[in-house]
Structure 1
């Protein structure tokens, strides 16, 4: 099966250039002009109409809620939402029921991901049994079963000794360890960032040190163990300072930032609004500015959504009782492109590095994040010029808990191909 994408704008040599892309048997066979003269007519033609064709986006931090929480999301709806957002490879977090904490459970989830996912799904295993215990998983076994990394996302590993042993075990078998950094003894059951906004609204706060203290502990343990230590959803200036210093010291630490921590702060919370409740919370304007600075200076390695769908009932009422988390995989490229590329803070090429190339490279996803001859035909066709409004009715995720609904953006995904096959087209929207 051959497919020709005609009149595509692709990022080459630091600028957009017009090319055609020939796909054969799920991989990119050629990139150039007048390809039909060299290879003959293709069986299927897609006209990109001068729109941007990107390597498929890569998100290493997604909650699919399946198995066990399928009222929120399913493997099918979550991966279709990913394709709608231009993502062709995602990392599925392990806070599901049952937790993938044994080789058998991991192998079962890996098989389902391959059979039922609309995009490629790389599977996390947990760091410890049941994700919150102090008993470590079988690192060799879960890697052989197909896990690409380990994480207890949703919970910080509370004991330093457990974390060191986990890092040693992950390092021995070459698995990245992605940490949700939160010290429970400093958390105090807050629901938003501690500070004047929380005080004014009468809501309990989460202070910065509950995150930064674990980052500081963990980078020392990472240095001792040699593990690839990855900080999930960094949100505080103090955490970023520790990460920057650790990188300068040669410690193998990487980090991600979520779009909402780049675009929003706690000052955007003007009332008790559960749609703005997430963990880590929206921090102060100073913290948000530090995240932007870290993105621009390269301290932050990648953008990841922390896509966390919930039912409408779970996000209703007060921040005191509503669930933590927002969706993001369908809006991430658009809000990032509109905010950072349209304003010339980032080039389009750099944004693609942050949302595709670098996460794939750093997590060993060797077939992802490429638009090159021989690579899998995992691609997104994106209209960069048309302004549109983010609407809940257009979302394909089960969760509509997004603070970006109603925002006007650029960067509309028109089609997503996975292994050369259409995983999403605009005709599939609700």
Structure 2
């Protein structure tokens, strides 16, 4: 058994095509992800836009508007860059010349925002409108309170600072939007490990080569041959997975959190499961590496690897047909990875690992049954 394992390790490490699919392809995809997601955190960040201020008598009479504009144009959360104009006509001319993307003019003590087509398409425009609406609402509240006879000191007491949104950290590790894609990539890489098991089983199958025929005739129990074969494929695949994992951690900068050690364990179990599944496919004569790759790509569709649409499809299947989703081996691998990020307790992770081990056992039994049927008379 150990001789079979050592032989398979040496043979698989010499297979350039297999290493390309199991290590080269995931690293190439991670490089693509790095380019795609490099600015993903900045997509929804409001960038400062050039806004003109019609600084006339109406503007000066609007209470607190000058201070609000100053606050919007300064600080770490700067929303606008300000240029002052003496009249509306001057501001409109600057907007037509593309010097500014819009301007604020006060009409009846109410600030009105005028934006160009390009300015209206920016994310900052939504925030700026919300700020001006809040200003108008607050001034209306103050006017209503003043009409009821409240003096200025009472108005100051009634001042309430509104917080529209508040950032809350739910998980121990900050989960970035791109994290799910990288975890799905790890599961996809595990799925490609079936190629190694496929090639390894074919090396010991009598119908594939002269070496396989001699091994079939040898007086070695089939379970030992199969176990050594899967062990060799798993050791090679786990080594490739560690290389991909280190690349994602230190080159791509993926935050795996404080449970990276448990993640390595999940990677090892997932690799073992896919190698056992590949051994089943290796006992099928009509199955070639292209079919294995197609199966891995199809199963990865339901782990959210291919973008936002794929993630929505995966969520829909998980909610509508949870049993179907759980039967997907790569879904179980992805779930075990993500459970280390999203849950404080280890129960979901342990449950996913137990399912992965059960799948590996089922695949091994099926492969052993098929291997036992490969007798010399059936060659």
> Normalized against structure 1, the TM-score is what?
0.19
More strand by share: 1
More helix by share: 2
> Normalized against structure 2, the TM-score is what?
0.21
